[in-house]
Structure formats: structure tokens, C-alpha cells
Amino acid sequence: MKKRIDYLEMKLAFQDLTIEELNGAMIQQQISLDKINERITFIITELRTMEPENIANTNEAPPHY
């Protein structure tokens, strides 16, 4: 019985450690996602404020044609 309790306690300790590691990884991913979202928002804002003549027309053939 003592061995079983020791085994379960050890298993629980490893699970706690794993949960903490996963939580840390999840926090880092959320920080990365927040930074990416900020960059995307900035790019969208910049694109919306660009003058139309500065935006390439995809319907025109390149000059070498």
C-alpha cells in the first residue's frame, strides 16, 4: 500500500510540473500572439492611410511588357 501511495504522489508531482511548464509555454505563446496582432493592426492602419497613387495597381502590366 505504501508503494502505491508513493507512486501516486510521485506521479502527481510530475503532473504538477508538467502543468506548470505547459502554462508557461501558453503564456509565452499569448505574448507572441499579442505582439503579432499589434504589428498586423499597425500594418493595416498604415495601408489604409497610404495614398492611392502609392499603391501598385495589380491590373497593369509591368513596364517591360
**Sequence letter at residue 16:** D
pLDDT for the residue numbered 58: 66
Q: What is the mean pLDDT of residues 7-34?
A: 98
Spatial separation of the C-alpha atoms in residues 16 and 5, rounded to whole Å:
16
- Number of alpha carbons in the 13 Å side-chain half-sphere of residue 43: 6
Q: What is the mean pLDDT of residues 23-49?
A: 97
Task: For the chain, give the mean pLDDT.
Answer: 90
pLDDT for the residue numbered 30: 99
Q: What is the mean pLDDT of residues 35-49?
A: 95
pLDDT for the residue numbered 65: 63
pTM of the model: 0.62
